[in-house]
Amino acid sequence: MADICVIGGTRYFGRKLVRRLLDDGHRVTLVNRGRTPDPFGSEVDRRVADATDPDALAAAAGASRFDAVIHQMCYTPRDAVAVCEAFGDRAGKLVLTSTLEVYNKDTFRWEIPAPAFSPFASEGELDPAAYRFDLDLPWHDPAFLGANYGEGKRQTEAAVVERAESPVAVARVAHVLDAREDFTGRVQFHVDSIREGREIHAHPSPGRTSIVSTTEAAAALAWLATSEATGVVNVAAPDPIDVYGVCAAFEHALGRKAIITERPEPSGERLSPYSCPADFGMNVDTAAELGFEFTPTADWLPDLAREAAKEA
C-alpha cells in the first residue's frame, strides 16, 4: 500500500486514476480547487489549493510525505517549479502528465528549431533535460497559454526534470477517448456527425495518429506511480489509427456510414480531430520494455463506440 497524492483527479481519466489507485489498496490524497464534485466520499483525503498558486500548493502539501505525487494539472514551467518546491524531497516520485503534442513540430516557438521527429516518435527524440524553459513568459495569460499548449508542456517537462528533488516520470499521453465523460467532445463529434449524416472532413490521404482509452491512460499513470519506472514514457495504444479507422468503429456501432470528405483545406468545424496531414503519433516500445503492455485499439475501440452510441 502506498500513499499517493493526486493533483487534480476529479474529471476525465484523472477520476479513473483515483478509482484505480483506491481499488488497488492505496491511500489517496486529492489536491485541487474543490470546485468539481468527486464520487470518492471518505475514501480519500482532500486538500484545497489552486495548483497554479505556489503558496497555496505549498500550504496544501505541508510537511506530508508521499510515495508518489501525480500532477495532472501542470501546464507551465511555473506550475512545475511550484510543485517541485511545494513537495521538495517529500515525494518518493513525481509523475507528470504530459501530452503527445510535445512532438508537434508546428508548435515550436521563439525560433526554437523543432527536432526531426519520427512519424511515431520515441521518447528519446525530445529530452526534457536538454530543453530550456522560461519562467518570465506570460504563462498567467489564458490566451497565451492556450495558443502555446505544446510549448508549455515541453517547458513544463524541462522544469520538472531540472528542479525536482525526487525521481521523475513523465507520461506523454496520446489523444484520450471516453464514451461517457467525453471531456474533449471528440467522440460526440463523430457520433453526431454519423448519426445525422453530416460530412466529416479529413486531410488528403490522412495520416495515422495515436489514441488511448481513459481506462488505459489511468492504468498507465497508476503503474508509473507505483513501479520503479522513471523517465519519459509514451502512453498510447500500440497500433496507430487514421480517421477512417476511427469512423469505422462508430459506423458499426450506429449502423450508418460516415460521410468522409478529403479536402486540401478542411473546415475546422467539420474536421475530424483524428485526421492528420501526415502520420503523427508515438512509439510505445519503452513502456513494453519497462513492463507495461498497452491494449491494441481493435480490442477496445469497438466497445467504446457502442457505449458512446448508447449514451448519445
Query: What was the pLDDT predicted at 219?
Result: 96
pLDDT by residue (tens digit) across 123-155?
999 999 999 999 999 999 999 999 999 999 999
| 70 touches 4 (CB < 8 A) | yes
Does 195 score more than 80 pLDDT?
yes
Percent of the chain having pLDDT more than 90? 85
What letter represents residue 155's amino acid? Answer: Q
Alpha-carbon torsion (211, 213, 214, 218), positive or negative? negative
Residue given cell 523543432 in the structure block: 114
- The dihedral of CA 180, 184, 186, 191: what is its sign? positive
Q: What is the pLDDT of residues 31-68, one digit of tens each?
A: 988 788 888 889 999 999 889 899 999 999 999 999 99
Rounded Cα distance, 303 and 13, in Å: 17
Kindly state the percentage of the chain with pLDDT values over 70. 99
Spatial contact of 13 and 218, defined as CB atoms under 8 Å apart:
yes
Band of pLDDT at residue 113, cut at 50, 70 and 90: confident
Highest mean pLDDT among 189-198, 262-271, 303-312: 189-198
- The structural domains of the chain, ordered by start, are 3-174+214-235 (3.40.50.720), 177-211+238-282+296-311 (3.90.25)
**pLDDT reported for residue 180:** 85
Buried b (16+ CB within 10 A) or exposed e, 226-264: beebbbbbbbbbbbbbbbbbbbbbbbebbeeebebeeee
More confident position, 37 or 252: 252
Q: Is the pLDDT of residue 312 over 60?
A: no
Tell me the average pLDDT of the chain.
Answer: 94
CB hemisphere CA count around 99 (13 angstroms):
20
Does 109 have pLDDT greater than 80? no
Closest CA to 249 of 167, 164, 171, 179: 179
Distance CA 58, CA 47 (A): 11
